Structure 1
């Protein structure tokens, strides 16, 4: 599933292509909104909120999308061939005279009033890459259930928004704790908020797929810190990765 840095990059791509421009093409290929017509309206901005994308459109409308596991937005120039996926995978088309944005495999796509955005993102904790980032609230949310495993607490978007399975493992590595350590037992727990913020900030401007990774997806390979073989196990039906020598705490 795309994480906060990827969603931030996608929002920037869409904002650059669409913001301040009038739509000359609009096609929402989901039954509920198939008859909606946004042509003639100006795109005001495209904003990320955790893993959600909010495209605000003239007239008090917001197009809300979520990439989930394999969704993607691609932007094309006039006459450029669309290569983001098969035609039946297209869920949304927003076109201006200069660019066309195409949404593929979007499992969440809905048109709502901008005044109702809190209905779809109001449950989220502070956004690690958002202008309203609040580390104190994020830490308070994480510590509300001190017995909860650190990895599970990190990917709960109600605590802080933007961390997925990759940055869960990477954050745990930075604070030298296994993903199964109860968060209330983590010394100086504010470190985990700082580490998660630093990771997403460092990766949000990197091209997709070029993250610097220490443990995620590196099972049996040497730890970059101590050389011990990285281990992996499922946590809440998702893989977790850790160094058995550098990281302290229970191992599932």
Structure 2
């Protein structure tokens, strides 16, 4: 699932292409929106809120989308738009005379009055990349979470924008075990991991390749994420992946047992092959 930095970059690209221009193409392929026609309206702005996209129009309507696991928005020239409109996985098209925004495989699409955006995103905690970013509030939310720090970071109600990539990398760089109860961390450790995550997302939103190591060469971008079965870049221990979070909402977490306080309680300790291997337990985990 795209994380906050990727969604911010998507919003920035859509805003540059569409802001101020009149909508001349509107094709929304969700049953609840099939009759909504935005033609004639002008785009005021496209912004991100955590992992959510908010496309605001001067007609007082906001088109809200969430990419979920496989969604994306493309920007294409009008001359190339017809071939995209023929695709079975197209879920939305909003176009001007200059550019078309094409939503493929979108996990969620809604339209609400702009004044009612809170019904869709009001549950989110402070956005790490938004104007509402509030470190003390985020820390208080995490402190009050009756779960592990790894699961708490992934809970968008605490702070918005972190996914499995930046949770895994931030905890590794802070030398904190993902399964440590959030309430057990002292103030300095909790602030360190959140500040680290904020810095990583803020730096990454300006680059197409997400990196925590400083290198954007293929295979060198991350310390632990998607590196299960491979040696830790810091201590040489084999990186592992295990599930974290409440039943029914588990997520994958990559970590180093050598640097992060041993095996997680959901990790059975059996050998894991590197992701992408043709056999072995590690190949059963899909990259989040």
Per the TM superposition, whether the score is higher than 0.5 is yes
The residue aligned with 1:223 is: 232
- The Cα offsets for residues 149-180 of structure 1, whole Å up to 9 and x where unpaired, read as 11100000000000011111111101111211
**2:238 maps to 1:238:** no
- The Cα offsets for residues 75-116 of structure 1, whole Å up to 9 and x where unpaired, read as 001323678797111111000000000001112101110000
Q: Counterparts of 1:86 and 1:2 in 2: how far apart (Å)? A: 25
Structure 2 CA distance for partners of 1:128 and 1:85, relative to 1, 3 Å? farther
Q: Which runs of 5+ in 2 are unaligned?
A: 266-288
TM-score (structure 2 length as normaliser): 0.83
Match runs of 1:1-252 below 5 Å: 1-80=1-80, 87-145=87-145, 147-187=146-186, 188=188, 189-208=190-209, 212-236=221-245, 237-248=250-261, 251-252=264-265
Shift of 1:220: 1.9
Q: Counterparts of 1:85 and 1:149 in 2: how far apart (Å)? A: 44
Q: What stretches of structure 1 move > 3 A for 4+ residues in a row?
A: 81-86, 208-211
The residue aligned with 2:269 is: none
Higher relative contact order by CA 8 Å / sep ≥ 6: 1 or 2? 1
The residue aligned with 2:279 is: none
Structure 2 CA distance for partners of 1:238 and 1:85, relative to 1, 3 Å? farther
SS at match of 1:79: helix
Q: Counterparts of 1:227 and 1:214 in 2: how far apart (Å)? A: 11
Q: Counterparts of 1:82 and 1:166 in 2: how far apart (Å)? A: 35
Q: Counterparts of 2:198 and 2:43 in 1: how far apart (Å)? A: 29
Q: Which runs of 5+ in 1 are unaligned?
A: none
